[in-house]
């Protein structure tokens, strides 16, 4: 992976980590409910694991497919998908629905997986993955698929580490320093920005294809 690709993946991870809907706020809520910073800290790894799973599925799929098909077709498909999903996110007023806050670690990971998937977290990585040179230059061989998938997983890993780092920092800051009152002022509509990023990422992918 190029340095630019790594930096982009990490930046997108930071963006995802910053979004209260992606999990840090849930961790803060658990910390406050149990009056324990440990409860906050314990909540973050399952949240990151769920996010990783959501992103990794898309990343592995894209990377593996790229290893065996012409990249321009995939880029066009990915770009169209991104623009469409982004526009839907932008225009739809539906939000993720979930009732229940007392979750086990496994359920918490499941919640995070669904939340990330519903937001198209993995899709946002498509332009980076599509722009990457094919590993080993073996494009066109079915045998290259597993290697491709591995590089996709690595990409998802880098992304999630950045996501977890930012989520941890924000969660601890809100819990220890700012308090949840900061939400009233600082929680700008990340979802709308997010949808805009999806559309932009789709357009970039299409232009490059």
Partner 1 sequence: MTRWTPDPTFYPSPREAVTAPTEKLAYVAAFDRAASRPDAIVVLDTDPDSPEYGRVVGWTDLPYVGDELHHFGWNACSSALCPTAPHPHVERRYLIVPGLRSSRIHVLDTQPDPRQPQIVKVIGAEELAKRAGYSRPHTVHCGPDGIYLSALGGADGEEGPGGIAILDHTTFEVRGAWEADRGPQFLAYDVWWHLTQDVLVTSEWGTPSMIEDGIIGELLLGRRYGHAIHFWDLAKRRHVQRVDLGDAYQMPLELRPAHDPTKSYGFVGVVISVEDLSASIWLWHRDGDGWAVTRVIDIPAEPADPADLPDLLKPFGAVPPLVTDIDLSVDDRFLYVSCWGTGELRQYDVSDPLHPVQTGSVHLGGIVRRSAHPSAPDEPLAGGPQMVEVSRDGRRVYVSNSLYGAWDDQFYPDGVGAWLAKLDVDVDTGGLTPDERFFPHGDEFRGLRVHQTRLQGGDASSDSYCFP
Segment contacting partner 1 by CB under 8 A, of 3-11, 76-84, 160-168, 182-190:
182-190
- Rule CB under 8 A: say whether 183 interacts with partner 1: yes
CA pair distance 183, 19, nearest whole angstrom: 11
Closest separation in Å from C-beta 203 to partner 1 = 23
Classify residue 69 by its DSSP letter: S
CA pair distance 108, 22, nearest whole angstrom: 11
Segment contacting partner 1 by CB under 8 A, of 58-66, 77-85, 97-105, 127-135:
97-105
Buried b (16+ CB within 10 A) or exposed e, 158-185: bbbbbbbebbbebbbebbeeeeeeeeee
* Other CB atoms within 10 Å distance of the CB of residue 101: 11
Closest separation in Å from C-beta 134 to partner 1 = 39
Residue (69 or 98) nearer to partner 1, CB: 98
Question: Could you give the C-alpha distances from 171 to 65, 102, 178, in angstroms and in order?
Answer: 37, 18, 10
- Rule CB under 8 A: say whether 20 interacts with partner 1: yes
8 A C-beta contact, residue 160 and residue 48: yes
- Rule CB under 8 A: say whether 96 interacts with partner 1: yes
Closest separation in Å from C-beta 30 to partner 1 = 9
Interface residue with partner 1 among 42, 131, 147, 191 (CB under 8 A) is 191
Instruction: Summarize as ranges the residues that interact with partner 1 (CB under 8 A).
Output: 20-21, 25-26, 28-29, 32-33, 35, 93-102, 111, 180-181, 183-185, 187-189, 191-192
């Amino acid at each position: 992976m190029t340095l630019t690709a790594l930096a982009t993946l990490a930046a997108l991870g930071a963006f995802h980590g910053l979004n209260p809907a992606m999990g840090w706020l849930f961790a803060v809520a658990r910390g406050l409910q149990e009056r324990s910073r440990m409860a906050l800290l314990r909540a973050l790894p399952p949240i990151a694991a769920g996010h990783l799973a959501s992103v990794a599925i898309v990343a592995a799929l894209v990377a593996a497919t790229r290893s065996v098909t012409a990249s321009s077709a995939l880029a066009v498909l990915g770009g169209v998908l991104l623009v469409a999903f982004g526009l839907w996110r932008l225009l739809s007023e539906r939000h993720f629905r979930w009732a229940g806050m007392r979750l086990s670690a496994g359920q918490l990971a499941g919640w995070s997986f669904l939340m990330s998937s519903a937001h198209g977290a993995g899709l946002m990585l498509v332009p980076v993955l599509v722009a990457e040179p094919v590993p080993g230059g073996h494009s066109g061989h079915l045998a290259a698929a597993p290697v491709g998938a591995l590089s996709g997983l690595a990409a998802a890993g880098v992304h999630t580490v950045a996501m977890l780092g930012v989520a941890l920092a924000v969660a601890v800051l809100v819990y220890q320093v700012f308090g949840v009152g900061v939400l009233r002022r600082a929680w700008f509509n990340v979802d709308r920005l997010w949808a805009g990023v999806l559309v932009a990422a789709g357009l970039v992918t299409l232009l490059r294809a």
